[in-house]
Amino acid sequence: MTPLLDVRDLRLHYETPRGPVRAVDGVSFEIGSPGEVVGIVGESGSGKTSMANALMRILPRNVARYDGEVLYDGEDLMALTDERFRKEVRWRTMAMVFQGAMSSLNPVLNVGRQVTERVLVESGASKREAYRKAEELLELVGLPRDIIKRYPHELSGGMKQRVVLAMALMMDPRILILDEPTSALDVSVQAQVMNLLKQLKRERGMAMLFITHDIALASDLCDRVVVAYGGEHVESGTLAEVLTAPKHPYTQKLIASIPRLHDPAQPEFIPGRPPDLVDPPSGCRFHPRCDFAFEPCDSDVPPWFEAGGAQHARCWLLGQSKGRG
């Protein structure tokens, strides 16, 4: 069956005086069908936001390289002109809640103006239609109807994040990209927003790409998880596979770093620094920080190895267990 979204070998590099920053360096993954949520997990600087921006074709001026395939229902979106992409794909096929979006709401415009703005500009809907849709969506995300007349400074963080979510839903997207949607919220509000996302998945069959540095948070919502490290992806599988039997040493460290309420063991931290994406380590990019590094790791780039079920990882240890390396 054709996946809903099939990303193949996507690259986004930025030009800098030191040389190109390889922020997205040949990543591939799929969202199989509507209602599926894929989590992208990785530490700060691993290229998560850059990948989301690459999918939305929201690019800065200093792009050095941007290529790969992004197949939506089998059609390569990368082959579309900018104009067609803007008219047909951005916000309609794929919409995004940007990292930190709730703090960039316009303080001088009320909620109604901000939520209806895009649909008025991009779809030619009448003001009445746009406001009706906005009211419906604001209600869907659990906000009172009178919110439409209020200004951002009158809203709590949780309410602002719901407004931002309603904005992203205005053009009825098939895929929603959420970039750290709860990171500025306190724990109880975070739980409310996560419940809302689960409701969207369940009741509207919304497919999502859920980006987070917090693998514990991903476990609440995602069907499948992809682990990002240094501009690449290093492990993928179902949530249960990755969480209960992580195969890549970086994923193992990520999971060991989750604090556990009733476990006396201290959470681990990951020693060393994230790789420099202008001059990443040779071979496996994780090798300078890996406790298990052995002979091929600093020279040979590990390919994807199958790890049983839907799980795959890029680590030479898996090759070794199959008699390689």
Ligand X SMILES: Nc1ncnc2c1ncn2[C@@H]1O[C@H](COP(=O)(O)OP(=O)(O)OP(=O)(O)O)[C@@H](O)[C@H]1O
Q: For residues 17 and 214, what is the distance between their CA atoms, to the nearest angstrom?
A: 32
Q: Is 255 in the site for ligand SF4 (CB under 6 A)?
A: no
Within 33-52, which residues bind ligand X (CB under 6 A)?
42, 44-50
* Binder of Mg ion out of 39, 47, 49, 233 (CB under 5 A): 49
Look-up: residue for tokens 């109604």?
A: 112
Q: How far is the CB of 99 from Mg ion (least distance, A)?
A: 5
Binding of ligand SF4 at residue 302 (CB under 6 A)?
Answer: yes
- The CB-of-241 to ligand X minimum distance in angstroms stands at 23
Q: Which is nearer to ligand X, 63 or 121 (CB)?
A: 63
Q: Is the dihedral of CA 48, 224, 220, 318 positive or negative?
A: negative
Please identify, among the stretches 30-38, 173-181, 239-247, 283-291, the one whose residues bind ligand SF4 according to the rule CB under 6 A.
283-291
Chosen from Mg ion, ligand SF4, ligand X, none, partner binding at 62 (C-beta under 5 to 8 Å by type): ligand X
Which window, 75-83, 125-133, 188-196, 311-319, contacts ligand SF4 (CB under 6 A)? 311-319
Told to check if 316 binds ligand SF4 by CB under 6 A, we report yes
* Ranges within 294-323 binding Mg ion (CB under 5 A): none
Residue span 96-125 as binding mask against ligand X, x where in contact by CB under 6 A, dash where not: ---x--------------------------
> Is the distance from CB of 97 to CB of 164 less than 8 angstroms?
yes
Name residues contacting ligand X, limited to 50-79 (CB under 6 A). Answer: 50, 60, 62
Q: Partners of 63 in the beta sheet?
A: 14
Could you say whether residue 290 binds ligand SF4 (CB under 6 A)?
yes
Residues in CB range of 225: below 8 A, 6 or more apart = 38, 39, 41, 215, 218, 235, 236, 237, 238, 239, 242, 243
| By CB under 6 A, residue 93 contacts ligand X | no
SS3 per residue for 108-135: CCCHHHHHHHHHHHHHCCCHHHHHHHHH
Half-sphere exposure of 44 (CA within 13 A, CB side): 3
- Helices 157-169, 111-123: axis angle to 10 degrees equals 10
Nearer to ligand X, 133 or 253 (CB): 253
Nearest to 317 by CA among 98, 303, 10, 54: 303
Q: Does 297 bind ligand SF4 (CB under 6 A)?
A: yes
Q: Which residues of 119-155 are buried (b: 16+ CB within 10 A; e: fewer)?
A: bbeebebeeeebbebbbebbebbbbeeebbebebeeb
Site string for Mg ion, 247-266 (x = CB under 5 A): --------------------
126 scored as a contact of ligand X (CB under 6 A): no
- Kindly tell me which residue out of 7, 14, 248, 249 binds ligand X, with binding defined by CB under 6 A: 14
- Which residue stretches of 4-126 are H helix? 48-56, 82-84, 111-123
Sole binder of ligand SF4 in the list 91, 210, 286, 305 (CB under 6 A)? 286
- Tokens of residue 174, six digits: 């098939």
Contact 311, 274 (CB under 8 A): no
Q: Is 254 in the site for ligand SF4 (CB under 6 A)?
A: no
The Cα–Cα gap between 304 and 308 comes to 12
* Site residues for ligand X per CB under 6 A: 14, 16, 21, 23, 42, 44-50, 60, 62, 99, 213, 277
**Residues in touch with ligand SF4 (CB under 6 A):** 248-249, 284, 286-287, 290, 292-293, 297, 302, 315-317
